[in-house]
Amino acid sequence: MESIGIGLHKGEPVKITLEPMESNAGIVFYRSDVGMSVKASPENVVNTQMATVIGNSEHYISTIEHLLSAVYSYGIDNLRIIVDSSEIPVMDGSSASFCMLLDEAGKRILDENKSFIIIKREVEVKDGKKYAKVMPSLKPTYDFTIDFDHPVIARQEYRFEYNKKSFIKEISRARTFGFLKDVQYLRSRGLALGGSLENAVVLDDNKILNPEGLRYKDEFVRHKILDAIGDLSLLGSVVIGDYESFAGSHNLNHKLTKEILKDPKNYEIKTISKENIKELEKVFA
**Is residue 66 among the annotated active site residues?**
no
> Phi/psi at 279 (nearest 5 deg)?
-65, -40
Q: What is the CA radius of gyration of the chain?
A: 18
Answer whether 246's CB lies under 8 Å from 129's CB.
yes
For residue 281, count other CB atoms closer than 10 A to its CB. Answer: 12
CA–CA dist 277, 222 (Å, integer): 29
Nearest alpha carbon to residue 210 among 121, 67, 92: 92
CA–CA dist 228, 250 (Å, integer): 7
Annotated catalytic residue: which of 66, 223, 250, 254?
Answer: 250
Nearest alpha carbon to residue 199 among 280, 283, 105, 95: 95
Distances (CA, A) of 6 to 117, 124, 190, 216, 282: 34, 35, 15, 24, 34
Alpha helix positions (H), the chain: 65-73, 96-105, 164-166, 180-188, 219-232, 250-262, 277-280
What are the residue numbers of the active site?
250
